[in-house]
Amino acid sequence: MSQPPPPATAAPPATAAPSATAAPQHTGGKHEHRWLILAVIAIAQLMVVLDATIVNIALPSAQRDLGFTDGNRQWIVTAYALAFGSLLLLGGRVADLVGRKGVFLAGLAGFAVASAVGGAATSFGMLVAARALQGVFGALLAPAALSLLTTTFTDPRERAKAFGIYGAVAGSGAAVGLLLGGVLTEYLDWRWCLYVNLAFAAAAMLGGARLLHPGAPDDRPKLDVPGTVLVSAGLFCIVYGFSNAETHAWSDPLTWGFLAIGGVLVTAFAWWQTRAVHPLLPLRVVLDRDRGASFLAMFISGAGMFGVFLFLTYYMQQILDYTPISTGLAFLPMVAVMVVVSVLTTNVLVPRFGAKPIVPLGMALSAVGMAWLTALQTTSGYGLHVLPPLLVAGLGLGLIFAPAMSMATAGVAAHDAGVASAMVNTSQQVGGSIGTALLNTLATTAASNYLSGRRPTPQAQAEAQMRSYETAYWWSALFFAVGFVVTVVLYRRGRPADSHMNDGAVHM
């Protein structure tokens, strides 16, 4: 998700985004409260990110309690992903139109209510509806939070520190969710994996209501209704198609059909954005090389990192017989490395060397970590075999997330901050959906191929699982290798201070 130059809103009126009217008003928090605002934003972002994995930990208990089938189980995850992934761009634009404080607080309140409904669910349908509602309000909350960060921290050095912390939270939230979900499920009840969001939301709402400034930019854009319909429907079809691939064949019309329709709709959306008077996603936001590289970096890392969190979780619980709590604790060293590296990267490395060597290096290290995990065996131990590649992967992801998030929103005019922030979240969310579907399908196929012609003894079953994990790790390594090539080619050379983004907003 670097130390980019200040966005257009940080510059004096003379250098702000061109406008016939006065310079856009500041829509972040009070200058003296900016670090408290960072804490509020980080709490909100952590709630959204950890919600994915914390619910995964609670799924087996929820299934036993509510009595739904294995075939329906995926909808607890898919309902959230469909709503969240398809509505992110709309949520970002709404933040630009209505005002980021109002949208941020509304997103928090709605997410809390949906979480309470889910925790109190008495049926499968009620839980799925609550998860979809969480996705809707998460799509409002996530881009509003990132755009608030962008407009609040305008000093380059402080912005680097802020994005380092934010990137660490965004990157490590999944692992925190594993640990928290394990504790709540084991010692309380699966419902608390949803109720806990009320505490996060309450803290963020109190801080946000007190610290944030109301209002939207003076030159706020109008809503592009055709573009909104096209991209929302297109992303819905793509996320649904890949999610459906986890339980159906790729040849199933519900898989390839939705993927094809989604591709057509997204292509039509891209064409419409070149002709719309008030485009939902102005091309000036995505066609800048550094921003485009950052969006792709978030997409690829979102797909690849599931090789760590998803399949390594299965390995530790099913092969090493770890409890949910032990599994969460096993990820903490990786989280610690990501936090330290994210802050160090944006404050020391990127200002000195620029994003071009740093993000590609993160991709390469992540690929090495994934490839290293393929050496795991049924007899492997944590200290000697699991921890080293986990630390290497954490180092790589720490070099990717914070610089990519910061560069993706640098130099964006105030009226585009929300949609640019939404593109960051959309890239990671859609990448994660695609990665999950592809890796699950490939892993399942590898396990089936191994068992073909063999007696399904416990030893054979365990070896089949190991083959499936190995396949997922190799493909994750391939994702990051592609990310290495893409970021090497696209990122500009030189430090952020030398970038054209210093001039303010990028225009077509």
What would the 3-class secondary structure string for 347-404 be? HHHHHHHCHHHHHHHHHHHHHHHHHHHCCCCCCCCHHHHHHHHHHHHHHHHHHHHHHH
Q: What are the pLDDT digits (tens) for 441-456?
A: 788 888 888 888 788 7
Structure tokens at 485: 């090539």
Please tell me the distance from the alpha carbon of residue 167 to that of residue 431, in angstroms, as a whole number: 17
Please tell me the distance from the alpha carbon of residue 264 to that of residue 381, in angstroms, as a whole number: 48
| Three-point CA angle 111, 115, 118, nearest 5° | 140
Percentage helix, strand, coil for the chain under 3-state DSSP, each rounded to 5: 80, 0, 20
pLDDT of residue 265: 93
pLDDT of residue 436: 76
Which among 289, 293, 295, 303 is positioned nearest to 480, based on CA atoms? 303
pLDDT of residue 464: 87
pLDDT of residue 217: 59
pLDDT of residue 84: 84
pLDDT of residue 134: 93
Please tell me the distance from the alpha carbon of residue 136 to that of residue 141, in angstroms, as a whole number: 9
Q: Residue-wise over 388-402: b if at least 16 C-beta within 10 A, else e?
A: ebbbbbbbbbbbbbb
pLDDT of residue 130: 94
Which among 306, 342, 311 is positioned nearest to 430, based on CA atoms? 306
Please tell me the distance from the alpha carbon of residue 368 to that of residue 389, in angstroms, as a whole number: 8
Structure tokens at 288: 């800048």
Please tell me the distance from the alpha carbon of residue 320 to that of residue 251, in angstroms, as a whole number: 35
For the chain, how big is the Rg over CA atoms in Å? 22
Per DSSP, the three-state class of 420 is helix
Q: What are the pLDDT digits (tens) for 352-410?
A: 887 888 999 999 999 999 999 999 988 888 989 999 999 999 999 989 987 887 787 77
Please tell me the distance from the alpha carbon of residue 242 to that of residue 405, in angstroms, as a whole number: 25
Write out residues in the chain with pLDDT < 50, as ranges. Answer: 1-30, 498-508
Single-letter code of the amino acid located at 501: M
pTM, full prediction? 0.75
pLDDT of residue 480: 95
Please tell me the distance from the alpha carbon of residue 405 to that of residue 424, in angstroms, as a whole number: 7
Which among 393, 388, 404, 374 is positioned nearest to 474, based on CA atoms? 374
pLDDT of residue 183: 84
